[in-house]
Structure 1
């Protein structure tokens, strides 16, 4: 008999995290520097909506904030720590709150999985009277990362999933800033670029490492193993360090990670 939780699971976008992302909460911890950038963008807002909230990374936790998480995936809602607010079952395209209900809204690593991007962004703007803060990746820079040379299909797929930052800006409207987010060398949030100076950590922690980055779900097991083995081979031979060893000396990496911050225009 099929497990009941699996039978009722609704994928959170184009990935079923009940199947692929079982180690997600172990590898995708919030990075303090990235969280600081998000909180700075939120500013003095108190009542916050977190769309595609997942397991709760990057949600404001100070007592001055009132956070409402919105998350469509049952398995991701179950992964949320007990000290965080219980997530509402819902999607970005149909946010179950009235106009201007929140001071600010945010979403992290989520917009690339929305079936209807414009509708979701319009809904965020509708329910938010202050800043809308989007943490996402620039699709034009995704393939600049060294791992693309080893896993081209993963990153080609990733680049097609992420929406253009200018498109996000146009839909949100208002006064918009697009700000690069530097990734620290010891980044706690282990998305692909979080391994920029630590390739050994990626290959030595498979399958948890790749199964916490959703783009890896779009290649089959055989292809995935070939990609990972090629990284291992170049690490063992020293070829990786010849090509990319300079990253080991960088305290931060500026890659495809960006914040899109939309504030209503002052009348």
Structure 2
């Protein structure tokens, strides 16, 4: 990065490390630039793959992250140690990442929403369409709401998102 050593009090990487072609170099750059703190917002792939959308409707999309997901413990090691905090996702999250719409399933039928979710945007449409058709049908007939009635009253959901905080 075109920044001097120790040039920032803190640096952040938000839902990005799984896209890096050279993780070690990327984390090394964060460590080089940060004076006091590095914050990484990421996900535990083993937990996120159990998310209802992926498990029930789009299991084929999980293959996209199977090849690039970074284990939280590996990130902690590369950071030289970090505090790991679970980040429950509120039902009205507006960010647009994969599980942001966990209580608003109709959003996943919107191509613009899917285009903002790397796992779905990078999975061929013909792979997604059968699962999306099942989701649409389940929403139309009320099956999704019956199956996931326990989610409808929840304010937050743990879908595997983690905040790693490394104090230097």
Match of 2:113 in 1: 209
Residues 70-127 of structure 1, C-alpha deviation per residue, up to 9 Å, x if partnerless?
Answer: xxxxxxxxxxxxxxxxxxxxxxxxx122221111111111111100001100111011
Note if contact 1:143-1:156 (Cα within 8 Å) is conserved in structure 2.
Answer: no
State how far apart, in whole Å, the 2-side matches of 1:122 and 1:168 are: 11
Partner of 2:25: 119
Aligned to 1:107: 13
Given the alignment of the two structures, is residue 223 of structure 1 paired with residue 130 of structure 2, yes or no?
no
The equivalent residue for 1:4 is: none
User: Partners of 1:219 and 1:112 in 2: how far apart?
Assistant: 15
Match of 2:149 among 242, 245, 263: 245
Deviation at 1:236, TM superposition (A): 1.6
Structure 1 alignment gaps of length 5 or more = 1-94
Give the Å deviation of 1:159.
4.1
Residue 114 of structure 2 aligns to a residue in which SS? helix
Which runs of structure 1 show a deviation greater than 4 angstroms over 4 or more consecutive aligned residues?
none
Q: TM-score if structure 2 supplies the norm length?
A: 0.93
1:163 to 64, 70, 89: 70
1:132–1:261 Cα contact (<8 Å) kept: yes
1:187 aligned residue (74, 86, 93) = 93
SS of 1:197 mapped into structure 2: coil
Contact map agreement 2:60 2:127 (CA 8 A) in 1: no
SS in 1 for 2:40: strand
Structure number with the higher helix fraction is: 2
- Which whole-Å CA distance do the structure 2 matches of 1:255 and 1:222 have between them? 26
Determine helix, strand or coil for the equivalent of 1:103.
Answer: strand
TM-score where L is the length of structure 1: 0.60
How far apart are the structure 2 equivalents of 1:263 and 1:228? 42
Secondary structure class of the residue paired with 2:152: helix
Q: Which of structures 1 and 2 has the larger relative contact order (alpha carbons within 8 angstroms, sep 6+)?
A: 2
Assess if the C-alpha contact under 8 Å between 2:45 and 2:65 holds in 1.
yes
Residue from 233, 250, 255 that aligns with 2:137: 233
Answer yes or no: is 1:143 the counterpart of 2:49. Answer: yes
